[in-house]
Amino acid sequence: MPEHKSQQVAAAREFLGYYRIEGDAFFNDGEVKEAVTNWTKEVAGSFYEEGISKLISWYTKSIEVARDYVEK
């Protein structure tokens, strides 16, 4: 049994001949990189929108509690 997780992944890939991520099969590193790049492009808008929305609510709370509110 390989010692490191990366060695285990490499051994499994060598045995199976492909990567499996969330039900999709990838046959080489390039396909995995492309899928991850596409996924990050898809979620980027909602990620930033959610973060900005939280930032606005944090600023509002800070102003409402005498400007000394700190989120922990």
15-43 per-position pLDDT tens digit: 555 566 666 777 778 888 888 888 888 88
pLDDT of residue 24: 76
Torsion angle in degrees (nearest 10) through CA of 39, 45, 48, 52? -160
Q: Which amino acid is at 58?
A: W
pLDDT at 63 over 80: no
Tens digit of pLDDT for each residue in 11-21?
Answer: 665 655 556 66
Question: Domain coordinates of the chain in residue numbers?
Answer: 5-64
Q: Decide which of 16 and 52 is more confident.
A: 52
What's the confidence (pLDDT) of residue 20?
Answer: 63
- Rounded to whole angstroms, what are the CA distances from 3 to 9, 15, 20, 29? 11, 17, 21, 22
